[in-house]
Amino acid sequence: MLLPSKHLAGIERLAIYGDAYRARLVECLVDDYPVLQHALGEDAFEALCLRYIAHHPSTSPNLNSFGRHMAKFCRDVERPSLAFGADMAALEWAMVETLHAPSAETLDLATLATVPAEQWATARFAPSQTVRVLAFAYPVNAYFQAFRTDHSPNVPAPGWSATAVFREGATIWRMDLGRAKHVLLMMLFDGTPLGPALDALAAAGHVSEGEGAQIMVWFRDWVKYGFFARIEAG
């Protein structure tokens, strides 16, 4: 039983803890989505957080994953006014996931060099747990970078973009991807063997004659930054 105090009824004392807990949840969401908060403004972001909390109440004492529904909430519930917000939330949550992903062995260039040439066409690349590849309807990574470099960017007009979020040691990085890179990475991450993935890329017109020579450079970068956990050749 929650007894009254000298100045407050029992329900009023309980309300203090309820308000404080909601405030703590809002703080948690601010930690996860600082750029989204900047884009919306503090008051609008707090109002969004309170609606999110009502829609997705916390069910765990561990708040690490509490904000995981924010992008979907913005896209499906708050639409269409928060289309940009949904993309920004997806980018920021990918960074949170990558930060908390367990460490694992990654494919290295030395291992890649041992793959016989005749096995390349059937090779499959398993994605690392510390990489996320996303496509957006807005250039959210450019906005994110402008925010990080102490600018006060305006919300941009719609425009396709794609970004890879990955972890190197304890540092989270973001890599912009053109359409060809994004399509190829997504096919490989989905388990498509390299040969059919390259054929599909060429058939879709995503790779020009001059760009084809760059694919091995892309692979060296992806392997260098730990995009793949392993290669399955043969």
* Sign of the dihedral defined by the CA atoms of residues 6, 10, 12, 17, in that order: positive
| Structural domain of 209 | 104-234
Neighbours of 83 (CB within 10 A): 16
In tens, the pLDDT along 128-164 reads 999 999 999 999 999 999 999 977 899 999 999 999 9
Decide which of 56, 80, 100 is a domain's last residue.
100
39 burial level (CB within 10 Å; 0-12, 13-18, 19+):
buried
pTM summary value? 0.87
Q: For residues 231 and 129, is the Cβ–Cβ distance under 8 A?
A: no
Do 203 and 110 lie in one domain? The reply is yes
CA distances from 104 to 64, 94, 121, 208, 228 (A): 20, 17, 26, 35, 10
- The H or E element that residue 52 is part of is helix 42-55
In tens, the pLDDT along 174-190 reads 999 999 999 999 999 99
Do 147 and 176 lie in one domain? The reply is yes
Do 112 and 210 lie in one domain? The reply is yes
